Structure 1
Amino acid sequence: MGEPGREEYEIHSFDAETQRLLKTALKEPGAVDLEKVANVIVDQSLKDCMFSKEAGRICYTIIQVNNMPMMALVNPVYDCLFRLAQPDSLHKEEEVDCLVLQLHRIGEQLEKMNGQRMDELFGLLRDGFLLQDGLSSLSQLLLLELIEFRAAGWRTTPAAQKYYYSEVSD
């Protein structure tokens, strides 16, 4: 299953003007104020945790597909990731999966741009893994894999890959 096309984003909940802003950002990011785009995405993500996954996809497209400088989006992306690292989100496998997916995609770049915030984020993730009661086995496995992934320099070792994938398939 590949990345969605640029037209397939779930932005219909926004008013017409905001939808145009987001569509323009996805097609021609240089033609819009990326700080305004980032604020819209963060505000919606903080109101609706389920939108955080979509927010990550939108930001990923703006950054990766369009080869745009990421600086304007670093803090808003971190804000979304911090929201997904909160205890209530860590109890939802879909949100943990979203968090892990986004950090696998852009974690290394985010860390290069603001290592202190990445340290803070991983402090939350470590505490969530160690201290949160009631996390599902899958959420614990995903968090542990993510912590190990960063510790290995944002690379997966063959041994870790074999361990984590054999655990998921069992």
Structure 2
Amino acid sequence: MGEASREEYKIQSFDAETQQLLKTALKDPGAVDLEKVANVIVDHSLQDCVFSKEAGRMCYAIIQAESKQAGQSVFRRGLLNRLQQEYQAREQLRARSLQGWVCYVTFICNIFDYLRVNNMPMMALVNPVYDCLFRLAQPDSLSKEEEVDCLVLQLHRVGEQLEKMNGQRMDELFVLIRDGFLLPTGLSSLAQLLLLEIIEFRAAGWKTTPAAHKYYYSEVSD
């Protein structure tokens, strides 16, 4: 099964016209307006947190298809330009819609996870991703379980990659996380548990030991 066919199941939440646009972009990218496609994917990712967790693979598939067909990067350029616009307005987005903000962080981390240049993560995304994670580690964000959950999930996903790209910023981020855990003003018990889990996860080399998995996930299920 090709990349395009693997992506089609994610398209079902769109209207019929948009479904056709995305399916064409996956199979024959030269036949559609790829900047429009990039905007459609970003817009939907900001509204649908389930889609935002998986959209990176679709973006990667479109980039690969465009590269094979035309050797160009119109879609990637449009995608990165739009991510930059939303990044610059991230505080306004957070103030307007906490869900939209969480979706954006999930999406940009997903894009960072999937997009590669010469088999390396994109340097252009390293600091924007870090800045989003630093925002999630501020005291007012740590008081909201949605943001703590997002922070921990994204660190599980891309933390090891980010640390390889800039270890100093990861050290600084975990100072904030430890401070937030040790000074738990307004932190829920679940938020404290999640922060402790990610601290131990990194300390174990970005791996979960069987004992830690049993402890944390039994606690969360309880």
TM-score class, shorter-chain normalisation, is 0.7 to 0.9
Q: Which one of 10, 19, 33 corresponds to residue 5 of structure 1?
A: 10
Structure 1 regions of 5+ residues with no counterpart?
10-17
Tell whether 2:107 aligns with 1:58: yes
Question: Structure 2 vs 1, CA of residues 112 and 23 (structure 1 numbering), >3 Å: closer, same or farther?
Answer: farther
The superposition leaves residues 24-55 of structure 1 with CA deviations (integer Å, 9 ceiling, x where unpaired) of 88343933067634422322322223233222
1:118 alignment partner AA:
M
Structure 2 regions of 5+ residues with no counterpart?
1-6, 15-34, 43-58, 65-72
Answer whether contact 2:102 2:147 (CA < 8 A) is retained.
yes
Partner of 2:56: none
Deviation, structure 1 residue 88: 0.5
Partner of 1:87: 139
Tell whether 2:99 aligns with 1:42: no
Partner of 1:15: none
Question: Structure 2 vs 1, CA of residues 5 and 43 (structure 1 numbering), >3 Å: closer, same or farther?
Answer: farther
User: How many residues end up aligned between the 2 structures?
Assistant: 160
Deviation, structure 1 residue 163: 0.6
Answer whether contact 1:82 1:121 (CA < 8 A) is retained.
yes
1:55 alignment partner AA:
Y
- In the alignment, the residues of structure 1 paired with residue 12 and residue 104 of structure 2 have an alpha-carbon distance, to the nearest angstrom, of 14
Partner of 1:162: 214
**TM-score, normalised to structure 2's length?**
0.63
Point out which structure has higher relative CO (alpha carbons under 8 A, 6+ apart). Answer: 1
Aligned partner of residue 134 in structure 2, secondary structure: helix
Answer whether contact 2:109 2:129 (CA < 8 A) is retained.
no
- In the alignment, the residues of structure 2 paired with residue 158 and residue 86 of structure 1 have an alpha-carbon distance, to the nearest angstrom, of 30
Aligned partner of residue 89 in structure 2, secondary structure: helix
Partner of 1:96: 148
Question: Structure 2 vs 1, CA of residues 57 and 135 (structure 1 numbering), >3 Å: closer, same or farther?
Answer: closer
Answer whether contact 1:89 1:95 (CA < 8 A) is retained.
yes
- In the alignment, the residues of structure 2 paired with residue 60 and residue 5 of structure 1 have an alpha-carbon distance, to the nearest angstrom, of 18
Tell whether 2:160 aligns with 1:108: yes
Deviation, structure 1 residue 66: 4.2
Counting aligned pairs with the same residue, the percent is: 59
More helix as a share of residues: 2
Structure of higher CA gyration radius = 2
Deviation, structure 1 residue 62: 2.6
Answer whether contact 1:96 1:142 (CA < 8 A) is retained.
yes
Tell whether 2:188 aligns with 1:136: yes
Partner of 2:63: 28
